[in-house]
Amino acid sequence: WSYYAYVVHLCILTVKSDIEKIGLLVGYHIAITLFLLCYWRTIWTRPGDIPKKFQLTADELDVVEGCDNFETQKRLLDQIVIDRDLPVSMRTFQGAVRYCEKCAHIKPDRAHHCSMCGRCILKMDHHCPWVNNCVSFHNYKFFVLFLFYGLVYCIFVSLSSLKYFIQFWTKSSDGNVTFGLADDGYGKFHILFLFFVSTMFGISLCSLLGYHIHLVLHNRSTLEAFRGPVFREGPSKDGFSLGKAGNISEVFGESSLKMFLPIFSSLGDGLTFPLRFSGDLELGQNNREAGHTRDI
């Protein structure tokens, strides 16, 4: 509907200047194309599978779940991680290696079980009903860009239709304010709702995008914002933070050309993440570089 209202009723039937009409149509189609591409990539990008080396055998799962006490189970899980050389640093609140009894495998760092998808998701942020998919490591960049270009789209539509929305309100000879002129027809109502809907959605997207920008700058997922990840040293919400520049690169990559395009450019493999064990930004950056060198 918004495409019909903007292109037909605003640009074709309302705007008189050909130069303005072309400018609005070009800008509109750029914004909606990037918005739809990011939306499409967010929906159809698979969350990613847990590698088989994290899988527990039936015997291992029986032994782990059949332990008489927590300390024995903790030692068994630690031994499995050591024997397989699994790169996991996160722990439960009790200090044990995290594992999923439903999927029967050791959980990689930042992975969580999604009840909607029925499996564990790499660097899970949340399950989004609007895209019918888990927002996670492989599509988080697309999701943030989807919010960003959605906001750009709403702002563009709202601002470009504002002038004509105001022009449609005129004063009659008796001083009363009326909507449009007698020959305006119902087409003006398309622009009225176009302005209001784009403004309301823009306000909503602004708050949601602002929240996820905050998460990106601190290298946290939505789940980690509510409950910080736990390491051997204890819980820390900033355990994966590498400084603002490093955190942005984690999600959007190091190429400025690909940063705002719906092309996957996030660093790492979704299984291992460089840690920041102290408040030293230099140390965090070194850990990041070493971690991604190891991943490659």
Residue 293 CA from chain centroid, whole number: 25
Q: Residue 222 and residue 152: Cα distance in Å, rounded?
A: 23
CB 198: neighbour CB atoms within 10 A? 23
Let me know: does 246 contact 289? Beta carbons within 8 Å. no
For residues 99-125, one letter each, b for 16 or more C-beta atoms within 10 angstroms of the residue's C-beta and e for the rest, the string is: bbeebbbbbbbbbbebeeeebbbbbbb
H/E element, 150: helix 140-167
Sign of CA dihedral 262, 263, 265, 266: positive
| Bridge partners (DSSP) listed for residue 120 | 113
Q: For residue 12, which of 170, 190, 200 has the smallest C-alpha distance?
A: 190
Which tokens in the block code for residue 196? Answer: 């209001």
Which tokens in the block code for residue 257? Answer: 């050309």
Q: Which amino acid appears at position 158 of this protein?
A: S
Q: Residue 147 and residue 189: Cα distance in Å, rounded?
A: 27
Q: For residue 140, which of 123, 158, 161 has the smallest C-alpha distance?
A: 123
Q: Residue 19 and residue 4: Cα distance in Å, rounded?
A: 20
Q: Residue 4 and residue 279: Cα distance in Å, rounded?
A: 53
Catalytic site residues? Answer: 128
Q: Residue 229 and residue 226: Cα distance in Å, rounded?
A: 10
